[in-house]
Structures are given as structure tokens and as C-alpha cells.
Homo-oligomer: A and B are copies of this chain.
Amino acid sequence: MRIGELAARTGVSVRSLRYYEQQGLLTPIRCENGYREYSAFAEEQVRTIQLYLNLGLSTEQIAGFLHCVLINKEAFCQEVLPIYRQKLAEIEAQINTLQSIKSNLQERMQSILDERGNQESEE
């Protein structure tokens, strides 16, 4: 199938499909006229790429194990677990940062509301 069809089937933009190819995630063959030709399997491949992107992995990280997970179960791909561990650590760090900002914000909001409340009763 050609790129437009693959885009329609997967919901991924043509632009992104070309980008994935540039990042080494897809390798369609080229017809004589220069058009990309994708196998039926490319559809699943694109969905797999999306799955990992949605986990917050970069195309570079995905490129490191995509070939393996497309032919094996994840558990057999040595590269996956370390990347998951690293990503998990990043996510937890981000959550901690956000939680601390959240607490800070909530305290400041409460202070404002308290002061305004006092203000009203003093007037």
C-alpha cells in the first residue's frame, strides 16, 4: 500500500510516517516512480510505534528495540527492560516535581483565600 493508505488505516499523518522512516522505524521499499510501498505488516508496525510513543519513549529509544519486539515478545528483548526502568525513573521524578509545585500552589492559594477572608471580616 502507499503512504496515504497507511496513514488512513492507522490515523497517523503522512508527515509522521515519513518522519518515522527518517528515524529508522519504518523501511518501505521504493517503487520505480519513487513512491513508498508498504507491506500489510506496516500497519501493525505503526501501531506498535504509536504504543511506545504514547509511553513517552523517543523515536531513538524505540529504534533500539523495535526490530526485536516486532518478531518476539517484549520479554525476549533485552533492550526493553532497561529503557522501561529508566523511563519509570524519569516519570517518577517528574511526578515528584509536579507534586511539589502542586502543594506550593495550593498553599499559596489557601493563603490568599485566608487573607481575603480576614480582610472581609475586618472591614
- Residues on A lying within 8 angstroms of B by beta carbon are 54-56, 73-75, 80-81, 84-85, 87-88, 91-92, 94-95, 98-99, 101-102, 104-106, 108-109, 111-112, 115-116, 119
Contacts and interface: CB of A to CB of B under 8 A. Distances in A.
One complex includes copies of this chain to the number of 2
Nearest to A75: B115
A106 B80 contact: no
Contact of A116 (B55, B75, B94, B99): B75
A112 B55 contact: no
Given A75-B116, A119-B75, A81 B109 contact: yes
Contacts of A55: 101, 104-105, 108
A84 B6 CA distance: 43
Interface SS of A by simple majority:
helix
A87 B105 CA distance: 8
A80 B106 CA distance: 13
Which of A92, A95, A104, A105 has the most chain B CB atoms inside 10 A of its CB? Answer: A105
